[in-house]
Structure 1
């Protein structure tokens, strides 16, 4: 497959993106509207050629931080939010955006939680290796409103709580006790009906789709056992997002990412018939927004980088503007030292996403945007948001031998005037305004 580019537009002036979330969800919460308006404003500034900034983000895998001693830049289990804090350890500054993951779990049977709370009592509690779920919810609330948050009732003013299943003392990071940034969730969902919830069950080759070509169609067909299993999974997601909605926390939700991966590879939802994928996205949207009343969500669609052999043309998989607020790319096809497509690093993806008229983000990358190889990335491609994947901030992933972030790279990025960072005390972080200001 060749590289596809943004088609020409004969209309004069830039093609600006919508700025009002109520165009998609008339009942969108004021906080969600503010977050989306902020992202859309940055995108439109870039499209007009005005000075713009990129929100620097960090993804964390709490199940790995909590329970996987082999994960990250040293051997041993870590406190939740280890890689949220790591940027501050290196630079003295926090990321402006934190993405967490409610799935896939850590290889345990069925969905469960660590501690029974008002929003998760429908699920088995005090289960080993499930306490990270409450940590994810607490950390999301705390990034939006400030940590520690004693009034949550979920952990002590010190920022600690004791895990039910093991008695382990768990400590959440302190970010100053005031609004510190935006939050999002991905959902590496094990295949519907999976008896074990873990990363292997997210993969196509370990799901029924690998042997049964009709299975995915049954997942998106109402009334089938496979569809009921899907709704069971979505109920787990909705219960936790619903707690955040009740506390006024808007969430950038990024489901079913990398859907354009070549058939037979990637996740169980990837490489499927595009019409069936649209159905999966739309019924997930309808369940969360209409059935569960979650109007705190900003929906993010992020295909894999479409380099040809692994990531295919994503356009057939776009669910449409009625269901998507932000578009992005999971970019593992190129590196700062070896850009793909012959142009500037990430430029082929940046231009390719322009036609959707939505804020554009790098949803996943091993690399920070500004580094020794590419110190001017954000001048050529002023992405609205750029999220570094988990341990890649400091760790040379064994599957990615082509380089890693150095401390100098991280400092260059977090110190750049083209980047917006997190934390209440920083110069370029108007989080209190985004959290509380009125939207007309």
Structure 2
């Protein structure tokens, strides 16, 4: 099977840890029977991309191209962190009670002694509270920032955790507001502390953006749903959102201003971000998020407008754009090709897979293979953007050999998934250990056993 990879010993693993130079070199032809290589230099999409963003992209493109050449590759293991639920939802997670922000980032280390190599935090959607500030990226920089209202402090934690994964927690003073990772929540007055990870560069980071519909007064997950948005009652609403000059478009720009403020804060501190907006767009009409199931041309216009605002208007060259449809199993989601914004606007492609499981792969084929092969044609590094499962465990041993995703992200509490409402788990501790200790996986630093020098991404 094309692209199938198996690791064959310590010598191969050592070769994968060679200096960054092999990432930056575009591979030659993959052979008449192999897939085409992906672009290896981010400047092919953005000539002004920051050096750090280029190095992160080169890492992922290098892993992808090794797999495409049939050479041994590795997968960066990732963890999604829902800070709003960790901070404010006592029924969330594997015990009743609110959690330390970054709880599920630290949980991987608690189980395995190793941190994730990638952390994605959800900058949206708010926690059912009104408004969000634009023009002030940190709530503790001014007492008037609306994040000082109840349940908005998690946004500070989201940005601080992203900076802390990239640069370390605790870390020396580097111009960011709280180098220790500890601050006082300006709404509650409680002291909030992020988990330490060794104090040095520990991995790469991303943002997802569960954006409430433009114009929503309250910012919360319920306002992200199609059924609760104006789109459910007004067939012309989405078209006005993507039409400059309309009130709906102005509301979209306000939301994007909120996103850009935080991305800009991280840009100012040298942090590249994998941004994953408008995901699962290929849901059936009337289902999913407000941007899902829409006319594909209008969706592509939404993506292009967002790109042009963030990169063109706001000058954010630290961003890598990740496009991730739902697994297109034919019932909830359809084939996503018509929604692809185009290579000028996308750096990485992925899938949110909640269709097949390690025990029951989709259509009896190797687990995740349908989506891995289906994404090959976009000529971009391929990632498992969301999954309830770790890739390796008792039910599956060859997942990363059959489908060598460059990055695999486990969704929030699903890492342990034994929680108040669902006492039976999807991942056992043994499954998590099997993944994090595999030679096929790149973990974060902070433990001395990652097998990867994350500090090399910081070099100028």
Same fold (TM over 0.5): yes
**CA deviation after TM superposition for structure 1 residue 418, in Å:** 0.3
User: Residue 18 of structure 1 corresponds to which residue in structure 2?
Assistant: 39
When the two structures are aligned, how many residues end up with a matched partner? 427
CA distance in 2, matches of 1:194, 1:92: 42
Partner deviation per Cα, 1:109-144 (whole Å, 9 max, x = no partner): 1114896355x8995242110111111111101100
CA distance in 2, matches of 1:358, 1:399: 38
Question: Structure 1 residues 126-135 or 248-257, which shifts more?
Answer: 126-135
Partner deviation per Cα, 1:328-352 (whole Å, 9 max, x = no partner): 0000001100100321000000000
Question: Structure 1 residues 120-129 or 335-344, which shifts more?
Answer: 120-129
Partner deviation per Cα, 1:146-166 (whole Å, 9 max, x = no partner): 111352453363x32111111
Q: 1:93 touches 1:422 (CA, 8 Å); kept in 2?
A: yes
After the TM superposition, which residues 146-157 of structure 1 pair with which residues of structure 2 at under 5 Å, given as runs?
146-149=168-171, 151=173, 152-155=175-178, 157=180
After the TM superposition, which residues 185-204 of structure 1 pair with which residues of structure 2 at under 5 Å, given as runs?
185-204=207-226
After the TM superposition, which residues 119-268 of structure 1 pair with which residues of structure 2 at under 5 Å, given as runs?
123-149=145-171, 151=173, 152-155=175-178, 157=180, 159-268=181-290
Structure 1 segments, 4+ long, off by >3 Å, are: 9-14, 112-118, 120-123, 396-403
User: Residue 414 of structure 1 corresponds to which residue in structure 2?
Assistant: 436
User: Residue 93 of structure 1 corresponds to which residue in structure 2?
Assistant: 114
Q: 2:120 touches 2:205 (CA, 8 Å); kept in 1?
A: yes
CA distance in 2, matches of 1:130, 1:301: 27
**Cα 1:352/1:196, change in 2 over 3 Å:** same
Aligned-residue CA RMSD in angstroms?
2.0
**CA deviation after TM superposition for structure 1 residue 435, in Å:** 1.8
**CA deviation after TM superposition for structure 1 residue 304, in Å:** 0.1
**CA deviation after TM superposition for structure 1 residue 13, in Å:** 4.3
Q: Secondary structure at the match of 1:304?
A: coil
Partner deviation per Cα, 1:166-189 (whole Å, 9 max, x = no partner): 111111110011000000000000
Question: Structure 1 residues 251-260 or 144-153, which shifts more?
Answer: 144-153
**Cα 1:405/1:12, change in 2 over 3 Å:** closer
User: Residue 345 of structure 2 corresponds to which residue in structure 1?
Assistant: 323
Q: TM-score, normalised by structure 2?
A: 0.89
Q: Secondary structure at the match of 2:275?
A: strand
Partner deviation per Cα, 1:272-302 (whole Å, 9 max, x = no partner): 0000000000000000000000000000000
After the TM superposition, which residues 21-36 of structure 1 pair with which residues of structure 2 at under 5 Å, given as runs?
21-36=42-57
Q: 1:114 touches 1:164 (CA, 8 Å); kept in 2?
A: no
CA distance in 2, matches of 1:341, 1:96: 31
CA distance in 2, matches of 1:29, 1:122: 32
**Cα 1:55/1:404, change in 2 over 3 Å:** same
* Unpaired segments ≥5 residues, structure 2: 1-29
User: Residue 413 of structure 2 corresponds to which residue in structure 1?
Assistant: 391
CA distance in 1, matches of 2:440, 2:434: 11
Partner deviation per Cα, 1:350-398 (whole Å, 9 max, x = no partner): 0000000000000000000001111111010000000000000011479
Q: TM-score, normalised by structure 1?
A: 0.93
CA distance in 2, matches of 1:213, 1:123: 35
Q: 2:79 touches 2:104 (CA, 8 Å); kept in 1?
A: yes
**Cα 1:421/1:10, change in 2 over 3 Å:** closer
User: Residue 402 of structure 2 corresponds to which residue in structure 1?
Assistant: 380
CA distance in 2, matches of 1:220, 1:144: 34
Q: 1:58 touches 1:388 (CA, 8 Å); kept in 2?
A: yes
**CA deviation after TM superposition for structure 1 residue 427, in Å:** 3.9
